[in-house]
């Protein structure tokens, strides 16, 4: 009787200590939550943010509240995300302007390349709420 209990205990121990699934074995999909993509996962986010941060943009603009200029989230909400919008808003950044968001003029940023201005707009458009 003692031998059969010992054998049973060893068998249970071996079964309980079996190795975990190998890396190439499938796991239960429900057990591993899928990561939801965010705006920060988009490569345009980091590139555009870096350009905006090294410019004077945050002097007049904030992410989610109006300052001297409109909030970036309001700009993103107003315009569709497409190449035409990117080009149009990049032109406004480079040339400056006024009247769309109130009387305060946006100074021109003539030293910016069109490509950098488009990258900044792509970042702003990723801030849609």
**pLDDT tens digits for the chain (129 residues)?**
555 544 555 555 555 555 555 555 555 555 666 777 787 888 899 999 999 999 999 999 999 999 999 999 999 999 999 999 999 999 999 999 888 998 999 999 999 999 999 999 999 999 986
Positive or negative: CA dihedral 102, 123, 63, 61 = negative
The answer to whether the predicted template modeling score (pTM) of the entire model surpasses 0.85 is: no
Domains of the chain (ranges; CATH) run: 55-129 (1.10.760.10)
| Selection from 70, 67, 95, 83 nearest residue 121 by Cα | 83
């Amino acid at each position: 009787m003692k031998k059969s209990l010992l054998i049973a205990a060893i068998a249970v121990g071996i079964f309980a200590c079996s190795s975990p699934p190998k890396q190439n074995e499938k796991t239960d999909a429900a057990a591993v939550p899928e990561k939801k993509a965010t705006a920060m996962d988009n490569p345009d986010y980091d590139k555009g943010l870096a350009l905006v941060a090294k410019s004077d943009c945050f002097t007049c603009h904030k992410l989610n509240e109006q300052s001297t200029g409109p909030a970036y989230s309001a700009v993103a909400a107003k315009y569709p995300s497409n190449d035409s919008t990117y080009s149009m808003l990049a032109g406004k950044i480079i040339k400056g302007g006024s009247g769309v968001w109130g009387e305060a003029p946006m100074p021109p940023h003539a030293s910016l390349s069109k490509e950098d201005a488009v990258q900044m707009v792509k970042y702003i458009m990723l801030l849609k709420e």
